[in-house]
Structure 1
Amino acid sequence: MALKPPFQASYYSNAGFQNQPRMNANLPPAGLVTKMPDEGAEFCIKPEQPRTSTPPNIKKFRKSFNEEPGAKQIHYGVADDPLPPESFTYGKKTHGSDHVHEVIKPNQLQGLTEFANKLKEDKYASSIREPLGRPMERNYEMPGVVHEPDFKYGVKTIGSESAYTLIFPPGGKTMEPDDVRKMYYKSHGVTEAGEQIRRDYNWPVDKHEHRFGLPDPKQLDGAAISLQPEKYGSTHPKTIIVQKTVEDFRSTAHEDLGKPRNLGQGKPNLPEDHAFGSSIHRKNEWTAKQCIHGQPNKREVQPDPDLGRTNRLGFRNTVKDGDEDRQFGVPTIRNDIPKKSFKSVADPNNYGDEASAVQLLYPDFWLRYGITIEEFRRERPKEEIKDLFDCAGMEIKRGKLEAVCSKALQFAGIVSLESFIQALRWYEAQGLV
């Protein structure tokens, strides 16, 4: 049977369409809405939940257990442990001990020693007028107006012109004449805000329209690169999918940050308050104060049994008649032999001129300049002391020199720099000089 041409009207009529056999019956008709299962937008946003889930007793061992949003990361070993009450306090109570400033504070006087030191300090005028920890008392008699709450010292500041008026005086010109502005531009290079410096170059191009340099090349797909950088270049490495067995081995064989290593031994049978390691506070442990001052017993503070005599047979000093006041051995300070003018470094003798333990711990200020304490204690004539003070910028007149030297002779028996300075301070404390 011959088909009718498609341009004939009877071919598109209902009667003609129903009577003709349908070709390509598997193609979907045009204009009809089709629906395929599990491929809609709703299924992509809200996929169906799997019917089977991990049991609660096994879920804590999965890696996804600590990756849930908003969930606290808990080790699977303590996931089912009961929590302590809210009033429970972790750690151990700190034991009280001596404070640091009480332990290391040097020369701390207490008791009768402090009282005796206070009696000695009260003799000085500076201790009376300027007591430690309080301001100096001058015993001024202030008028009654000083004690009023609104009283203020000084003279009230009189208001004057503001800085703005001095910088921008009223009536001044805001704009300079054009000839003056050009003069400052030529001499000092002064330009207005935003004004371009003109050097009067002969440009081969129009400087107002020409642009120097090369333009940046246009980059295609800029938004796509910003949203999906893993598809373009090597900015971010692509995700690598490994087998689950490899990941389980890594999580078991390696330590997680902040978690103990899983040894497969289960939870140890120990009480809740058990702490591993040794305690910081040990029994009968000495404090810092005991380490510094010690804690000797009565037997340890007794003198040695061989003090003044020897316990070795055949080496004892037998006192004969007339030797009751005799001193055996060599004295520590060799006053029995003359001191040489130049002492050798190999000479082990002490002639009494060596520094004490206090001087070694707290050396004198003048030792750094090569001046020993003997220079201050050596007897000097009055004229030499006056020359030293004059060179130091402290001119002392003749009458003051005689009075201070007399007081220095009364204090120390000799006139030295140390006794002279002590006498001079005494006169200053009395307000006589």
Structure 2
Amino acid sequence: MSLTERDSSTWRPRDPFPNIRAAGKLVPVGDTTKTCLQEITPGALTPPVVRKFVNSARPPIGTVRVFHGKANDPDTASTLVHGVNTKSSINAGSVINPAPKTRFQERLRHLHEINYQKAPLGRSGVQGPGLPSWLDSEKTMFGVTTLQCNKKTSLYLTGGEVINPPKTTHQVKKEADEGHQLYVRSHGSYFVGERVDRKYNCSHYKRDSRFGVPTPHFNDGRTISRSLRWPCDSLMHNSAKLVSKRCDNFREKTQPQTGKVHDPIAETLNVRAPSAGLVTPNNA
């Protein structure tokens, strides 16, 4: 093989052993990654009856989960709008400093208010047609005249006299006792300690009769005082106070005693004598 053939673009290597098969696997032409990952045959299609259950449990990416009971229903929720459109109110700037009106707007306002300008001050003008001929619109009044309070006749009372009437305590109590039976019948309102009349028709039973055994009662409060003061609390001040030996030794060591010099380390100086046969640092 010449040098010119080596440098050319059509150079091919020479097989020294043409009778021996080359090692390796022959890859078919056109096998790419896309063709390897792509299914040859399309997958089985999910039936629509089963698909609504699958989408309810595992919806596709980017879709809204729909309950399987509403899968085939028309989508009306996305088109519904609730509430009322809120209109913006007039701002304060336009009220304080309104825009100038044109001559047409000013004339229209004058025509609307011309009916009010005809009525004299303190009287009502003609509101419109349709009233009877015998009705005088200026002199006819409707309603009932409100009577003012007259302190001399005392026929009408003010609000303060109704809430807090000028009566003595005896008069108020007498009126309350007279109307008490009415409130018992209508509202079931009884006085404190008043017994209910149950309408028993028995010869041996009366309304004022009582049952049970009377409980001993004292108005001086001795029973309550006895319940608030338990025997253990009252005898605690007279009984002897028990102190543990550990607390007593601690106080004796840390607190000064009468007639003794306070020496906190006095116990540490009481060292026992060494026994025979033992060597101590002092004897060494």
Tell me if both proteins adopt one fold, taking TM over 0.5 as the criterion. Answer: no
TM value normalised by structure 1: 0.15
TM-score computed with the length of structure 2 as normaliser: 0.20
Higher relative contact order (CA 8 A, sep 6+): 1
The structure whose Rg is larger is 2
